[in-house]
């Protein structure tokens, strides 16, 4: 079962930074969902996922408002909480997984710092954000290993090299 993605670009800089950024995000999120769908989707309509490509200023505001942290981060995930109970029927309303918000300047500077293509890093952040919507986390070592393993599997399907080969978790905010 596929998911439905709503993608909004709030910052025109994304057009210059990544060719067809919205479509790349749709591909990354769709691939991620296809890998994990069987765990979450029995008997329900395809979930809806929102994705916003914006700038550091907007992300910094969200980071402060919802996490009490100053400054921008690369990706924020706002789960709706509906996936915790993936039950329902195919005729009912769709599950809304939540929203993923990605900051242009932080993403670009990390890609440059790590000598990674911007498109690869963007796809990684989309996958990372979607896994957070599904309840995955990386704050404990065991959880981080599971999440990173899933990320690497999904990214390999997208043709993106393992972002953790240097042993540093670059997706963590």
Is residue 155 a contact partner of residue 163, using CB atoms and an 8 Å limit?
Answer: yes
- Superfamily of the domain at 4-157: Metalloproteases ("zincins"), catalytic domain (3.40.390.30)
pLDDT, one tens digit per residue, over 18-73 is 999 999 999 999 999 888 877 765 555 678 899 999 999 999 999 999 999 999 99
Q: Where are the domains of the chain?
A: 4-157
Q: What is this structure's pTM?
A: 0.87
Token pair in block for residue 8? 């909004």
Unique residue bearing structure tokens 């996490």: 67
Nearest CA-CA partner of 72 in 106, 113, 120, 39: 106
């Amino acid at each position: 079962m596929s998911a439905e993605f709503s993608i909004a670009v709030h910052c025109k800089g994304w057009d210059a930074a990544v060719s067809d950024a919205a479509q790349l995000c749709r591909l990354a999120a769709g691939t991620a969902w296809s890998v994990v769908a069987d765990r979450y989707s029995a008997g329900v309509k395809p979930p809806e996922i929102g994705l916003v490509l914006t700038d550091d200023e907007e992300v910094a505001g969200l980071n402060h408002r919802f996490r009490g942290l100053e400054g921008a981060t690369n990706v924020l995930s706002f789960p709706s909480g509906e996936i915790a109970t993936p039950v329902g029927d195919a005729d009912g309303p769709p599950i809304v997984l939540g929203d993923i918000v990605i900051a242009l300047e932080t993403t670009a500077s990390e890609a440059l710092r790590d000598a990674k293509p911007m498109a690869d890093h963007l796809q990684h952040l989309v996958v990372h954000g979607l896994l957070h919507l599904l309840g995955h986390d990386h704050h404990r070592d065991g959880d981080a290993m599971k999440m990173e393993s899933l990320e690497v599997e999904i990214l390999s399907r997208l043709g993106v090299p393992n972002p953790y080969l240097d042993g540093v978790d670059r997706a963590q905010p």
